Amino acid sequence: MLNGVSVIVTRPQAQAEALIKALSDQGAAVIAVPGLEILPNEENGLDTTFMDLDRFQHVIFTSINAARLGMERLDSFWPQWPIGIDWYAIGAGTARVMREFQIHALVPEKTNSEGLLALPGLQHLAEQKVLVVKGEGGRPLLPDTLAKRGATLMQADVYRRRQPKVSANKQAQVAKAMTAKQPLVMLVSSLESLDNLKCLLAPNWAALQQRPLLVVSERIAQHAQKIGFQKVSVSPKPDDTSVINALEALLEHRQGRL
């Protein structure tokens, strides 16, 4: 249980709801401070790409948001999915969204671009067409490597990210939690969120850097340490259960040292 623990959850609002409920059910005091806002991309060119779905041999979704927005858009064009496509999801949450549309995706053991690129079906792509459904920007590793392996590559950016605003009330909640005696942990699931939070939580940023930070990848952990965080832990996977288990382990470890 997490009674007496304050947790700052920084996922985008729609993605954070289940985690916030799970943490609250275990007794944690949750402060929701989204580090990113997700906005659908209404670009008309996406429709042309999605109408040509049957021309692709591989379709890759790189996030839960990409799956949710991309599958809804694809579903409006394809009442029945074309055959002969290998579908991929970067992680279990992304695959779960795809299953809602009767798509069963291959999921890598490592939930990142490196994990996707290690899958056998994406090794030799000469004369094969690959569609990557994603958000604007992001790491170039996946598309660059697929192209080097011979793929005819198309990218569909179905959403964009924006730095949200934080209300004075949220700032006050964070400040109050900083001065309380109970443990305070911030959860961060993306590099961009972490960089945004430096601005969003500027009045308390220096103090937060001295508190435990729980992230979902080694890349984020390394970046957090570079920008001044002293106590960084990594959840082995980004799903809610893994994050909560990692949070409990972190707190138990810290209590054991006292």
- The range of the structural domain enclosing residue 171 comes to 6-36+165-257
Q: Which of 113, 131, 161 is the last residue of a domain?
A: 161
Clarify whether residues 101 and 151 are in a common domain.
yes
Q: How many domains does the structure of the chain reveal?
A: 2
| Domain contains 103 | yes
Is-contact 15 94, C-beta < 8 A? no
Clarify whether residues 48 and 137 are in a common domain.
yes
**Average pLDDT across the chain, whole number:** 94
Clarify whether residues 96 and 82 are in a common domain.
yes
Residue 209: partners with Cβ closer than 8 Å, 6 or more residues away: 227, 228, 229, 230
Clarify whether residues 52 and 16 are in a common domain.
no
Q: What percent of the chain has pLDDT over 90?
A: 90
Clarify whether residues 138 and 246 are in a common domain.
no
Clarify whether residues 134 and 171 are in a common domain.
no
Residue 152: partners with Cβ closer than 8 Å, 6 or more residues away: 127, 128, 129, 130
Q: Which of 143, 161, 179 is the last residue of a domain?
A: 161
Terminal-to-terminal C-alpha distance of the chain = 19
| Domain contains 1 | no
pLDDT at 11 over 80: yes
User: Looking at residue 43, what is its pLDDT?
Assistant: 76
pLDDT at 232 over 80: yes
Clarify whether residues 31 and 43 are in a common domain.
no
Clarify whether residues 67 and 92 are in a common domain.
yes
Average pLDDT over residues 67-87: 96
Whether the model pTM is above 0.85:
yes
Average pLDDT over residues 216-233: 96
Clarify whether residues 117 and 227 are in a common domain.
no
pLDDT at 96 over 90: yes
Clarify whether residues 60 and 133 are in a common domain.
yes
CATH code, domain carrying 64: 3.40.50.10090
List of E strands, the chain:
6-9, 29-32, 37-40, 58-61, 86-89, 129-135, 152-162, 184-188, 213-215, 232-234
Clarify whether residues 28 and 100 are in a common domain.
no
Pairing of strands 129-135, 58-61: parallel
User: Looking at residue 14, what is its pLDDT?
Assistant: 87
| Domain contains 212 | yes
pLDDT band at 181 (very low <50, low <70, confident <90, very high): confident
- Tell me: the pLDDT tens digits for 97-153? 999 999 999 999 999 999 999 999 999 999 999 999 999 988 899 999 999 999 999
Clarify whether residues 72 and 120 are in a common domain.
yes
Q: Which of 136, 161, 186 is the last residue of a domain?
A: 161
